[in-house]
Amino acid sequence: MKVVKFGGSSLANSTQVNKVVNIVKADDQRRFVVVSAPGKRFDGDIKVTDLLIQYAKATLNGDPSDTITGQIIARYEEIATAFQIPQSAFEAIKQTILNLPHHDYQDDSYLMAAFKAHGEKLNAILIAQVLKASGVNAKFLDPKEAGLVVTDSPDDAEIIPTSYDRINEWADSKLVRVIPGFFGYNDQGQICTFSRGGSDITGAIIARGVKAKRYENFTDVDAIYAANPQVVHHPIAIHNMTFREMRELSYAGFSVFHDEALIPAIQGDIQVVVKNTNHPSERGTSITSHKRVNPAYPVSGIASSPNFCGIYIRKYMLDKKRYSQKILKLLAEYDLSYEHMPSGIDDLTVIMRQDQLTPELEDTLIRELVIALRPDEIHISHNYALLMVVGEGMANRTGIMSKATDALARQNVKLIMVNQGASEISMMFGIKQDEAKVAIKALYDTFFPDL
């Protein structure tokens, strides 16, 4: 049995949906279909989820929303019309969209979650009808009915482990079950969404719950590549990688697969395969617990993520006075997360994502740190990028760090931070954001010289 998930680009219009129908029909083991909301049809287009966010904001502000609802309805209607879905059936989808403002919501955050989640929910209802009209014995399955219960966090929910037993009760279903991604229900029956990109998470949860042999994630690329194709010309495809490698690379900027989605797959030891809806016969990328390492290529991938900042703090005896505990406590008070904290005897740097900070919050944080620590020096630097080199073949190998730093030095890339992962399968460098592309190219040419 297989669980398949289709992303927004795979469901953007009737042409793409027809490809999805053919993929589902091509393999009778594909019995659980998880869908995203319709995505962009072309550059400059607006995703349905973003339209629903606009709709929610208009509702909260008491602004007119006829234009927005018209755009949302039109996206679903184009697909319904192409597959000759009866108008009476589509009318229910239309009325659901128009009635969204008239439900009772616990507060504004739950309203926003419900509006966003209906992009997936209505698309799952529609895709089930499309599959049935195309000769597939398919039926919509709501996450509540499936047993997908989540924590009470409207926009950052997590699966409650007992849900897996309830989901498993659907494992023997003879129908093709079409399930909306991105959300579940809390104990009170309110919709709560996963973090953005959470349809990947739903797919992995369903795969673990029904104990699927394979979780296929269909998107718009033929495979996951060793470097960003927008930076490196024709990088090699990674056809086999481990969960650990994918987690590291996703954290550092690989956006093909949501990094949190791997956790249920890891827990269930389920093979994940990333494939292209437009070229379903291509091999794609298989992600598993283990892989055979090619000693000639110890590095599997190189990635970079922008928009970090660093708070530098210097104070004599910094390592003796438990100052790091005070720093972490202060960050927690302001609900701020940090990524790394490289330190020395008398100084340290707190690396964090700078989109967490407004100018006002930044000033407040620095002021509070001065009061708490009385540092000899403190300042914040912006526009860092974190550069990651990842590969299972790096473990127990000498010279990898030297090759990487030499490659960066030849391009005059200044290293602000260096961090060797405890697992030995990753190295991280902090660099200036405007040097990231040069750095990626230099590392790719070094570790993949003949490809």
Residue 336: how many other CB atoms lie within 10 Å: 16
Amino acid 319: pLDDT? 67
Kind of pairing between the strands at 426-432 and 377-390: antiparallel
Q: Is 135 annotated as a binding residue?
A: no
Spelled out in words, what is the top-level CATH class assigned to the domain 2-220?
Answer: alpha beta
Contact 80, 13 (CB under 8 A): no
Q: Is 140 annotated as a binding residue?
A: no
Q: Is 162 annotated as a binding residue?
A: no
**Every domain of the chain and the residues it spans:** 2-220, 301-447
Amino acid 419: pLDDT? 86
Q: Is 8 annotated as a binding residue?
A: yes
CATH superfamily of 301-447: VC0802-like (3.30.2130.10)
Amino acid 321: pLDDT? 67
Amino acid 324: pLDDT? 86
Amino acid 420: pLDDT? 82
Q: Is 116 annotated as a binding residue?
A: no
**Distance between CA 129 and CA 138 in Å, rounded?**
8
* 426 Cβ contact partners less than 8 Å away, ≥ 6 residues apart: 248, 388, 389, 390, 394, 420
Amino acid 322: pLDDT? 78
Amino acid 256: pLDDT? 72
Assess whether the region 2-220 and the region 301-447 belong to the same CATH fold: no
User: pTM for this structure?
Assistant: 0.90
Q: Is 268 annotated as a binding residue?
A: no
Spell out the per-residue pLDDT of the chain, length 451, in tens: 999 999 999 999 999 999 999 999 999 999 999 999 999 999 999 999 999 999 999 999 999 999 999 999 999 999 999 999 999 999 999 999 999 999 999 999 999 999 999 999 999 999 999 999 999 999 999 999 999 999 999 999 999 999 999 999 999 999 999 999 999 999 999 999 998 778 999 999 999 999 999 999 999 999 999 999 999 999 999 999 999 999 888 877 777 777 788 899 999 999 999 999 999 999 999 999 999 999 889 999 999 999 999 999 999 877 666 788 899 999 999 999 998 888 888 889 999 999 999 999 999 999 999 999 999 999 999 999 999 999 999 988 899 999 999 999 999 999 998 988 777 899 999 999 999 999 999 999 999 997 6
Q: Is 49 annotated as a binding residue?
A: yes
